[in-house]
Amino acid sequence: MLFSIFKKKSTERPIYKVADADIYSKEFQQNFYKHYPAFYDLGDVVFLEKSNCYAVFRYESARTVLNNHETFSSSHLKTVDAVLLGADGKKHLRNKKVVLQNIVSLNREQLHTTNDFFHSVFEKLWSSLSVDSSVNIVDKLVNPLTLTLIFHELGIHQVPEEWNVFSDKTTLKTKSEAIAEVFSDWNLLNDLVAHNLKEEHLREKLKRLLQLINSEGWYSPEELSRFVRLFIMAGAETTASLIASSIYLLTQRSNDVERLRNHSGYVTDFLNETLRLYAPAQFTFRYTEKEAVVGKQKIPAGSVVAIAIGAANRDPAIFEQPDVFMPGRTAKHIAFGMGRHKCVGEYLSAYLAQMFLGKLLLHWERFDFAKEATVNNTVFAYKVSNLNATLRK
Ligand code: HEM
């Protein structure tokens, strides 16, 4: 994730295989999947000299790191968020509970409350599509829909037009370019949150939530926008990525159109395999509070550890023919992370993807999809950004 990026000087030299790749480079991020196969044979932990961090690419190693939050801390992410991913220990647990209980759409049982709003947004976007000319489905439907829905869940009902191109802001740049650009946009977000705070509904929903989270008192507008920012960063781009990848796969697998229409249970397998094959969040990061052991290897205290989620999901030791789309596999992907910081938006994003596919399948025969799609990764995130189609009457 974008806000995970930082470097720290490691004092000890590695005793591991040192890989040449730089995960922070454009070259690496332009095509994550080209690079991953080289790492599986290098051991449980690899030292990336150019990126100055340790990294785990194997499935079991990634699980070891994610499941041990005491040794592998995520509190260094607090520059952006001290509420959830950037908080450790009791504070994190308490906040997570509050968030899960108070944002109803994060709760699997109550997701249907989002239904009406989803339909109305989809219909509005759908009716704005021009017939008989080529449109980019990702720009015109996927991005605005996910962004509007997530803002809505937080209690923000007016999303300015410029936010619908949010993903363009993070489209592959160098680490520092992307950070600078995204952070300059937070000013826009501050304004948006400040504006919405004047609205009664937001005051009730978002403020109540944050008051619960912050026992010290009210969050300032800046802190409120940090919280909103975490949800937008963590939720919008990733969910849009899942939906875009699943549509892309459908364009390549025409038999699945009928299968999805006729077997409602198949959609879960289809989406899980999409998440495995094209993990929206390719990397996350931890910091070792003490010396750590992963498999047979040690990592010194005070080190940055990169967890290659996308690589772990294609580990050949776990997934037979890892690059092939095979829904219904028994081994579970880790696209939503695992352990204490496992994603809070897992059910919401699966629900949105499912609803979206359902709508699209109703009109599927009316689309002429272009043969090629463009993958335009954002920093540490995988994203099909161009899916052109012509809609027939
Ligand atoms: C397909 C969609 C999504 C994917 C692939 C995804 C992926 C992830 C991953 C890998 C993590 C763990 C990060 C770590 O351990 O360092 C995570 C955490 C998180 N996600 Fe998601 N996410 C998705 C959707 C969402 C949505 C829709 C929201 C909010 C509405 C959301 C909010 C969060 C938050 C707040 C955390 C931090 C949880 C914590 O620290 O306990 N995510 N997500």
Pairing of strands 53-56, 304-308: parallel
Provide the β-strand partners of residue 286: 305
pLDDT at 39 (0 to 100)? 94
Q: Taking a C-beta distance cutoff of 8 angstroms, is the pair 357, 260 a contact?
A: yes
Q: Is residue 70 over pLDDT 50?
A: yes
pTM of the model: 0.89
Of the listed ranges 66-75, 164-173, 324-333, the least confidently predicted one is 164-173
**Which of 33, 147, 133, 154 shows the shortest CA–CA distance to 83?**
154
pLDDT at 261 (0 to 100)? 94
Of the listed ranges 146-155, 195-204, 317-326, 363-372, the least confidently predicted one is 195-204
Q: Tell me the mean pLDDT in the region 241-262.
A: 94
Task: Kindly report the protein residue whose alpha carbon is nearest to atom 7 of ligand 1.
Answer: 336
Q: Taking a C-beta distance cutoff of 8 angstroms, is the pair 276, 322 a contact?
A: no
Confidence of residue 200 (pLDDT cuts 50, 70, 90): low
What six digits make up the tokens of 24? Answer: 């922070």
Q: Is residue 326 over pLDDT 70?
A: yes
Q: Taking a C-beta distance cutoff of 8 angstroms, is the pair 317, 260 a contact?
A: no
Q: Tell me the mean pLDDT in the region 235-252.
A: 93
Pocket of ligand 1 (CB under 6 A): 66, 74, 84-85, 96, 150, 230-231, 234-235, 238-239, 242, 280-281, 284, 309, 335-337, 341, 343-345, 348-349
Q: Is residue 338 over pLDDT 80?
A: yes
pLDDT at 3 (0 to 100)? 34
Ligand 1 atom nearest 242 alpha carbon? 1
Q: Is residue 79 over pLDDT 70?
A: no
Q: Taking a C-beta distance cutoff of 8 angstroms, is the pair 227, 205 a contact?
A: no
Contact partners, residue 239, CB within 8 Å, separation at least 6: 146, 150, 280, 345, 348, 349, 352, 353
pLDDT at 151 (0 to 100)? 80
Residues 315 and 309: their CA atoms lie apart, in Å, by 10
Domain count, the chain: 1
Q: Tell me the mean pLDDT in the region 16-32.
A: 84
> How does 196-212 read in b/e, with b if 16+ C-beta sit within 10 Å?
bbeeeebeebbeebbee
CATH code of residue 116: 1.10.630.10
Determine the distance separating the centroid of ligand 1 and the alpha carbon of 61, expressed in angstroms: 20
pLDDT at 83 (0 to 100)? 77
Confidence of residue 383 (pLDDT cuts 50, 70, 90): confident
Determine the distance separating the centroid of ligand 1 and the alpha carbon of 165, expressed in angstroms: 21
Residue carrying structure tokens 């993903």: 167
Q: Taking a C-beta distance cutoff of 8 angstroms, is the pair 327, 269 a contact?
A: yes
Determine the distance separating the centroid of ligand 1 and the alpha carbon of 235, expressed in angstroms: 6
Q: Tell me the mean pLDDT in the region 123-143.
A: 90
Provide the β-strand partners of residue 18: 47
Q: Tell me the mean pLDDT in the region 204-219.
A: 63
Determine the distance separating the centroid of ligand 1 and the alpha carbon of 239, expressed in angstroms: 10
pLDDT at 16 (0 to 100)? 61
Determine the distance separating the centroid of ligand 1 and the alpha carbon of 134, expressed in angstroms: 33
Q: Taking a C-beta distance cutoff of 8 angstroms, is the pair 309, 335 a contact?
A: yes
Determine the distance separating the centroid of ligand 1 and the alpha carbon of 194, expressed in angstroms: 25
Q: Is residue 189 over pLDDT 90?
A: no
The parent domain of residue 8 ranges over 2-391
**Which of 169, 179, 175 shows the shortest CA–CA distance to 53?**
175
Residues 244 and 144: their CA atoms lie apart, in Å, by 12
Determine the distance separating the centroid of ligand 1 and the alpha carbon of 337, expressed in angstroms: 8
**Mutation test of ligand 1: which of 97, 282, 344, 351 has the most ligand atoms closer than 8 Å to its C-beta?**
344
Determine the distance separating the centroid of ligand 1 and the alpha carbon of 390, expressed in angstroms: 33
**Mutation test of ligand 1: which of 336, 340, 384 has the most ligand atoms closer than 8 Å to its C-beta?**
336
What six digits make up the tokens of 104? Answer: 């109803």
Q: Taking a C-beta distance cutoff of 8 angstroms, is the pair 235, 150 a contact?
A: yes
pLDDT at 25 (0 to 100)? 87
Q: Is residue 219 over pLDDT 80?
A: no
**Which of 305, 300, 302 shows the shortest CA–CA distance to 286?**
305
Ligand 1 atom nearest 285 alpha carbon? 16
Confidence of residue 102 (pLDDT cuts 50, 70, 90): confident
